[in-house]
Amino acid sequence: MNIILLDHIDKVGAKHDVVKVKDGYGRNYLIPQGLGIVANKPNLARLEGMKKIGSKKEAALIAAFREVAAKLSGLQVKITAKAGENGRLFGSVTALHLSNALQELGVDADKRIIEMPEEVKELGSYTATVKFHPEVEAAVKFEVIKEGGDEVEMDD
């Protein structure tokens, strides 16, 4: 089945590409979710118009994403988490934690576009990748610090 993609889909194709997919994937997922339309003659004729309109919007969107990516490259985000005495976290820091920290700084980044380096289970500095668009991504440096800072130990 040939489908015209209406949005970028990882490992399938870019927006406005005509791709061949399995019938079930096209009928049961892409078309009902609004991610694609059947590539028949009328839709292929509309494709050129969609590309012209889409390219102008796409250029503006990419420019806006590049601005945000430039802003992020200079930031050092701090995330507080509960940790034991050896620096090991109770739990882990996820993309959701980083997304919330970025929102506090005024950057709207959904957790689904954030790729964490690995499981963050210890205090320290890390770098995550935020993929705003297939052409625009930013490296975000973040530091996981102990909640409450350095605590003073009391002798009995």
**Which CATH architecture group holds 2-60?**
3-Layer(aba) Sandwich (3.40)
Q: From CA 100, how far away is CA 109, in angstroms rounded? A: 8
Please name the residue that has the structure tokens 């019938």. Answer: 23
**pLDDT digit string, tens, across residues 90-120:** 889 999 999 999 999 888 888 888 999 888 8
Domain spans of the chain?
A: 2-60, 71-146
Residue 150 pLDDT level (bands cut at 50, 70, 90): low
pTM score of the predicted model? 0.68
Which CATH architecture fits 71-146? Roll (3.10)
